[in-house]
């Protein structure tokens, strides 16, 4: 039985070339999770120490520009199912405004487009994404440039390791798969044999070490797949560079990953793998804070 998910999905847009990607992915998540969609545009707030009339005119101009972005979003979402709320948020920065809105609404997910200079079909987190991914209180999804919204039978991927972060990513991905009936695919990436290692410990010892590590990962994945009832779950251990392998997973429609294993709970704090992954992935990536 699925549990109700509190809070809406927030799609942050700015009228730039990546806004349609954020709208499309946000819409899909909102309809999938059965929650409202909030389309948010952040515009400049009046400065505490401004230049009077000049500052007020500039803020008013930014307010009008934000309204135009929302009007364009309304046209793009005319046929959306479910509730859509359009919000303008005054803040000192886009990331700060979206942070505040997510906490105010108890958002289930925050969705943004990739960086303006992202190549088509690849992620490249922009400055707003970088700041959002440094402390967001809810999962953050980044949409690659130019990819179509998932349709039909999908495969929900999870970059899994048996840590609090990995288990949080699995829980979030399983909830989506449970609601859609899609297949859940768990991946653990193990490093390939190091050519220098045999000289230190010998070929036989290295082979035994790698086999033991693989058996441990396979056992962990099997237990994880069995821990999500009501979901068809598959798993795979893949040898290779962790970031390269996960970034090139074009067989999944969306990839969930944890943030990192330290820092305050319930906050997204990127580690080495997740930082590089959101800059290179060819599919939408959802970074989940540990619970």
The 3-state DSSP class for residue 79 equals coil
Number of neighbouring beta carbons within 10 Å of residue 18: 26
The alpha-helical segments, DSSP class H, found in the chain are: 19-33, 53-76, 94-105, 127-132, 164-180, 197-201, 203-226, 242-247, 272-280
pLDDT at 107: 94
Quote the CATH superfamily of domain 153-284.
HUPs (3.40.50.620)
**1-149: in CATH 3.40.50.1820:** no
Averages of pLDDT over each 10 residues, the chain, 291 residues: 72 88 92 93 70 66 87 91 90 86 93 64 51 76 73 82 89 92 91 54 58 82 93 90 85 86 42 68 84 63
CA pair distance 245, 277, nearest whole angstrom: 10
Instruction: Please determine whether the domains at 1-149 and 153-284 fall in the same fold group of CATH.
Output: yes
The alpha-helical segments, DSSP class H, found in 118-182 are: 127-132, 164-180
pLDDT at 265: 39
pTM higher than the cut 0.75 = yes
pLDDT at 279: 72
Instruction: Return the domain boundaries, the chain.
Output: 1-149, 153-284
């Amino acid at each position: 039985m699925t549990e109700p998910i509190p809070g809406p999905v927030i799609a942050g847009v700015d009228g730039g070339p990546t806004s349609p990607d954020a709208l499309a992915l946000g819409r899909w998540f909102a309809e999938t999770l059965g929650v409202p969609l909030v389309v948010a545009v952040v515009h400049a707030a009046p400065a505490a120490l401004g230049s009077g009339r000049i500052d007020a005119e500039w803020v008013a101009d930014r307010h009008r520009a934000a309204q135009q972005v929302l009007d364009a979003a309304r046209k793009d979402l005319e046929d959306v199912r479910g509730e859509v709320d359009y919000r303008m948020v005054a803040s000192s920065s886009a990331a700060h405004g979206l942070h505040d809105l997510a906490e105010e609404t108890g958002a289930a997910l925050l969705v943004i487009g990739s960086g303006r200079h992202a190549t088509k079909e690849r992620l490249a987190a922009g400055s707003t994404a970088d700041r959002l991914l440094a402390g967001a209180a809810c999962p953050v999804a980044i949409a690659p440039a130019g990819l179509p919204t998932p349709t039909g039978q999908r495969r929900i991927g999870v970059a899994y390791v048996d840590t609090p972060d990995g288990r949080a990513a699995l829980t979030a991905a399983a909830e989506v798969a449970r609601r859609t009936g899609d297949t859940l695919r768990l991946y653990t990436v193990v490093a390939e044999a190091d050519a220098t290692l045999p000289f230190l410990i010998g070929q036989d010892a290295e082979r035994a070490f790698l086999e033991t590590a693989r058996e441990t990962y396979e056992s962990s994945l099997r237990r994880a797949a069995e821990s999500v009832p009501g979901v068809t779950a598959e798993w795979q251990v893949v040898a290779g560079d962790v970031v390269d392998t996960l970034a090139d997973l074009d067989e999944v429609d969306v990839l969930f990953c944890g943030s990192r294993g330290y820092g305050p709970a319930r906050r997204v704090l990127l580690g080495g793998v997740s930082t590089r992954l959101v800059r290179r992935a060819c599919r939408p990536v959802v970074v989940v804070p540990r619970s």
